[in-house]
Structure 1
Amino acid sequence: MKRWMELLITMLVLAGSCSSEAAAVRIAYDPGGRIGKYIDRYERLRASGRDVMIDGFCASACTIVLATLPSNRICVTSRAELAFHAAWDIGHRGQPVTNPGATRMIYSMYPGPVRRWIAQRGGLTRRTIFLSGGPLQAMYRSCPV
Structure 2
Amino acid sequence: MQRTAFVRTMMLSAALLAAAPASAEVRIIQSPGGQVGPFLDLFEKVRESGERVVIDGPCLSACTLVLSIVPVERICVTRRAVLGFHAARSVDRRGHFYAEPEASEAVLQAYPGRVRDWISRHGGLSSQLLLLKGRELAAIYPRCR
- Say yes or no: TM over 0.5: yes
Per the alignment, in what secondary structure is the counterpart of residue 123 of structure 1?
A: coil
Per the alignment, in what secondary structure is the counterpart of residue 139 of structure 2?
A: helix
Percent sequence identity is 46
Pairwise CA distance, 1:65? 0.4
Amino acid at match of 1:107: L
Where structure 2 has 5 or more consecutive residues not aligned to the other structure, the ranges are 1-19
State the match for 1:58 in structure 2. 59
Amino acid at match of 1:33: G
Q: Tell me the distance in 1 between the aligned counterparts of 2:93 and 2:26.
A: 37
Per the alignment, in what secondary structure is the counterpart of residue 84 of structure 2?
A: strand
Name the TM-score, length of structure 1 as normaliser.
0.82
State the match for 1:5 in structure 2. none
Name the TM-score, length of structure 2 as normaliser.
0.82
State the match for 1:120 in structure 2. 121
Q: Tell me the distance in 2 between the aligned counterparts of 1:98 and 1:84.
A: 14
User: Higher helix proportion, which one?
Assistant: 1
Q: Tell me the distance in 2 between the aligned counterparts of 1:121 and 1:141.
A: 21
Per the alignment, in what secondary structure is the counterpart of residue 33 of structure 1?
A: coil
State the match for 1:132 in structure 2. 133
Match status 1:45 vs 2:49: no
State the match for 2:75 in structure 1. 74
Superimposed CA distance per residue, residues 34-92 of structure 1 (whole angstroms, 9 cap, x where no aligned partner)? 11111111111100000100000000000000010111100000110010000110136
Pairwise CA distance, 1:142? 0.9
RMSD: 1.6
Moved more, 49-58 or 22-31: 22-31
State the match for 1:141 in structure 2. 142
Amino acid at match of 1:41: L
Amino acid at match of 1:87: A
Q: Tell me the distance in 1 between the aligned counterparts of 2:111 and 2:56.
A: 19
Amino acid at match of 1:82: L
Amino acid at match of 1:140: Y
State the match for 2:87 in structure 1. 86
State the match for 1:100 in structure 2. 101
